Structure 1
């Protein structure tokens, strides 16, 4: 299961339900995908197929929506 948190432009932001416990978000785009760590600080974990410009754009979107993503994570993965 991979619940979508939100979409912005050509990006889809989502989680995988059965993955590692460190808080992160996946980003899908027609050109590729990326994974961003949210803790202890926002940072790129992996990316495939995205340009550096697309990665930067996706990371900026994650930063703007960090509170929403964190809330969605805590709701989807209750402690």
Structure 2
């Protein structure tokens, strides 16, 4: 499970055998979400996260979009 980054309790990561399109998984507490990383960061799915937590995760993903793409290319290709 390649870690991309962790901030404010949110863990951003990929699975080693992940697939396109570029996306990132986010865990916070007992919840998890997946965001598609393209021109815009888009929520694909979430389980167990509150609206406020999802908003924070989306902002962190948007703020770190270039890092996510860089790490994706390093780990997934």
Q: Shorter-chain TM-score category?
A: over 0.9
Q: Secondary structure at the match of 1:7?
A: strand
Structure 1: segments with no counterpart, 5+ residues: none
* 2:27 pairs with 1:28: yes
Report the TM-score when normalising by structure 2.
0.93
Report the TM-score when normalising by structure 1.
0.90
Structure 2: segments with no counterpart, 5+ residues: none
**How far apart, CA to CA, are the structure 1 residues paired with 2:76 and 2:30?**
29
Q: Secondary structure at the match of 2:45?
A: strand
Equivalent pairs, count? 77
Moved over 2 A (4+): none
Once the two structures are superposed, residues 41-64 of structure 1 have per-residue CA deviations (whole angstroms, 9 ceiling, x without a partner) of 310000000001100000000000
Match of 2:36 in 1: 37
Shift, 1:21, TM fit:
1.8
